[in-house]
């Protein structure tokens, strides 16, 4: 069981630095964040940490919260070289990450792990409404302070599954002859971030241009990303060249999926 993060020197400095940053804007931003840190420490510190990481990648960041509370909106408005985008931050708490993955906060030498895919899917479903009706792309940054869970699950393999659903191995069979054909990876698109097999075009949550999966421990940085195959507002991944972004490519005619990375790809049947 982990205690308060604010007892650690790194997070004490992070809290103070974020308060100082917020103080350069409307005073209500700092007031609201201080209320949040008292109500949900990890959520508040996740906002501070991801803002810090974005700035470390050369992004100019400003708060974007609607101070009236009437309009749900992303946490941050970001700019780099006149390119604007938004970032909505959400946190998978340490306790939830431990429960979902089966990894204790202080893991033993060896352990079995389960993916965080369902938690990522739930966060995207929750945050999609906050990314609607914007004038620029919106990323959902999903972070956790559970260092081992982030290290083990925010990987290319797990992100492929987040985009396509966990694959199974299937084998083609000729119904007339009973002859077995080639094996292939198949998926039912269950709890996939940007796809829904029950929709005619398979596309879901188009308000989210992409996701960032972030380890938030002091030594970690923005880890890995995924782009929506056909969002309402596309995000240019060249804005964050330090982050590898995957993209799922859908061919509904052949019912084939492909996950493209900058230097590789994986294919699935749906």
The H or E element spanning position 144 is strand 138-144
The H or E element spanning position 12 is helix 9-22
Worst-scoring range by mean pLDDT, 85-99, 185-199, 210-224, 234-248? 185-199
The tokens of 23 are what?
């103080």
Res 200 pLDDT > 90 = no
Are 46 and 145 a contacting pair, CB within 8 Å?
yes
pLDDT the model gives residue 188: 63
Res 143 pLDDT > 60 = yes
CA-CA distance, 269 to 254, in Å (whole number)? 8
CA-CA distance, 50 to 165, in Å (whole number)? 27
Q: Is 168 exposed, middle or buried (0-12, 13-18, 19+ CB in 10 A)?
A: exposed
Tell me which residue has tokens 């100082």.
20
pLDDT the model gives residue 190: 76
Q: Read off the pLDDT of residues 32-80 as tens digits, 9 standing for 90 and up.
A: 999 999 999 999 999 999 999 999 999 999 999 988 877 889 999 999 9
Q: Read off the pLDDT of residues 166-199 as tens digits, 9 standing for 90 and up.
A: 765 554 555 556 565 555 555 566 788 898 878 7
Are 91 and 46 a contacting pair, CB within 8 Å?
yes
The tokens of 41 are what?
């420490």
pLDDT the model gives residue 171: 45
Res 127 pLDDT > 70 = yes
Are 121 and 162 a contacting pair, CB within 8 Å?
yes
pTM of the complete model: 0.87
Q: Read off the pLDDT of residues 21-34 as tens digits, 9 standing for 90 and up.
A: 999 999 999 999 99
Q: For the chain, what is the largest distance between any 2 Cα atoms, rounded to a whole number of angstroms?
A: 74
Q: Mean pLDDT score of the chain, rounded to an integer?
A: 86
The tokens of 163 are what?
């985009």
């Amino acid at each position: 069981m982990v205690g308060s993060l604010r007892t650690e020197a790194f997070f004490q400095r992070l809290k103070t630095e974020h308060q100082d940053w917020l103080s350069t804007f409307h005073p209500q931003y700092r007031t609201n964040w201080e209320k949040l840190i008292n109500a949900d420490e990890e959520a508040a510190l996740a906002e501070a940490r991801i803002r810090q990481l974005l700035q470390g990648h050369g992004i100019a960041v400003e708060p974007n919260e609607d101070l009236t509370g009437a309009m749900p909106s992303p946490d941050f408005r970001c700019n780099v070289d006149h390119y604007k985008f938004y970032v909505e931050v959400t946190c998978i708490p340490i306790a939830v990450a431990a429960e979902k993955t089966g990894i204790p906060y202080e893991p033993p030498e060896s352990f079995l792990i389960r993916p965080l895919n369902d938690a990522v899917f739930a966060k995207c479903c929750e945050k999609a409404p906050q990314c609607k009706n914007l004038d620029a792309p919106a990323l959902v940054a999903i972070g956790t302070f559970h260092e081992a869970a982030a290290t083990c699950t925010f990987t290319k393999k797990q992100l492929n599954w987040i985009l396509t659903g966990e694959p199974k191995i299937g084998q083609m069979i000729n119904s007339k002859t009973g002859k077995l054909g080639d094996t292939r990876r198949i998926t039912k698109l269950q709890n996939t971030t940007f796809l829904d097999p029950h929709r005619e075009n398979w596309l879901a949550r188009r308000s989210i241009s992409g996701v960032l999966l972030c380890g938030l421990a002091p030594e970690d940085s923005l880890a890995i990303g995924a782009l929506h195959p056909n969002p309402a507002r596309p995000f240019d991944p060249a804005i964050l060249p330090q982050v590898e972004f995957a993209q799922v490519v859908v061919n509904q005619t052949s019912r084939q999926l492909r996950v493209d990375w900058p230097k590789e790809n994986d294919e699935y049947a749906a």
